[in-house]
Structure 1
C-alpha cells in the first residue's frame, strides 16, 4: 500500500509553522513557505489569503463540527452537556498530524504578537459558533455565551494536554508494564476532563 502524502494545504501549514519556529513570523515570507512546502506562490494564495491565515486552517470545519454536536445533543441535555457533545464531535476531525503539530504551533504563536492576535480571533469565532448553536436550542443568551466560552477554553486546554502528552517519543518513554495497564487516552478524553475541571471551577466561584 502506498504511503499517504499530505496535500498542498497541509504541507503549507507544516512548512509555515516550521519556518515561524526557526526564524520568526516576521522574517518568514510567503515565498519561503511555498518553497519549503514544495508548491508555487500561486498555489499558496489559492489556499490562504496571507501567511497569518495559516494559523486558522480548519477553523470553519471545527466551528461547524462544534455547532453540529451541540445541535444534535439530547433535548434534555444541559448547556454544558451539549457543549461536551460538540467537543466530542470536533475531536473526530483531529488527527495524529494535528497532535504532532500542536506544540510547534503553540511555540510559534507565543513568539509572535500578530499570531497571538489571530489566535484570539479564532477563539472568538469558535465561541460564537457554540453560543449560536446553544441559543438555537433555547438556551438564554448569557448562559449560552458563558457555556460557549467554557467550551473554547476546554478545547484549548484539552488539546494542549493531548498534544503535549506525545503520541510519539513521550509514549515510547513510558515503562512497558505501565503502558500495558493504562489505556491510551484519546483527544475526546482530554476534552471531557478539561470541561469537567472548568465546570467544577465555575461552581466554586460562588
Structure 2
C-alpha cells in the first residue's frame, strides 16, 4: 500500500487518479485551508477533514504531493510577485521545510504542480530555488509541461509537473501514456429539454454574463 500526503490538497485530484488506476493507497493526511475545497473533498471521499494550515503539518508519507498556490506565478495575475515574502506562491517553500524536518522519513517521491507561468523569466527564480533545495535534500528532479488535452480532456490546461525522486533515479516523462482527446459533448450536462440536445445548460452567473457580453441572445436562453 502506498501512503500519500496531499498538501494544498484542493478537491483531491491526485487521490482520484490513484483510484482510477486501481492502485492500493492510503491518504495519511490532507491539508487545505479553503473551506469550499475541503467540503468538496469530504463529499468525494466520505471524510470529515477540517481546514488546516500546511505550516503546522508533520507525518511520514511515501509520496508527498503539493500543488501550492499559483496566483503569484500566473500570467493571468497582473502583478505577479513570484517568491516575494507576502506572496501566496512562496508557500511552496514550506514543503521544503517539512521534508527537511522529516529527516530519515522523507518521502521517496515528491510531486509538485503549478502553472506554466512559473517558467517565465521574472518568476522562475522561485522554481530554480526549489529545484536547488530539493537536490540538496537528496532528490533528483525532472520536470515537464503537460497539457490536459494529451490525456483525454478537452480543455487547454498546461501545467508544470516536477517529479523529484529520492536518490539518483530520474523520472522519465516520455513513458507517460497519452490518450486521444474526448469529444467535449461527453462532459456536457444537456438541457433544459431533450428537444435541444446540443444545448448545454449553463447556470453560473459569471459565465452567463460573459456569454451575454460577447454573444447576446434575443431569447435569453444559453
Structure that is richer in helix per residue: 1
Tell me, yes or no, whether TM beats 0.5.
no
Computing the radius of gyration from Cα coordinates, the structure with the larger value is: 2
TM range (shorter): under 0.3
* TM-score where L is the length of structure 2: 0.25
Choose between structure 1 and 2: higher strand proportion: 2
Q: Which structure is richer in relative contact order (CA contacts within 8 A, separation 6 or more)?
A: 1
Q: TM-score, normalised by structure 1?
A: 0.27
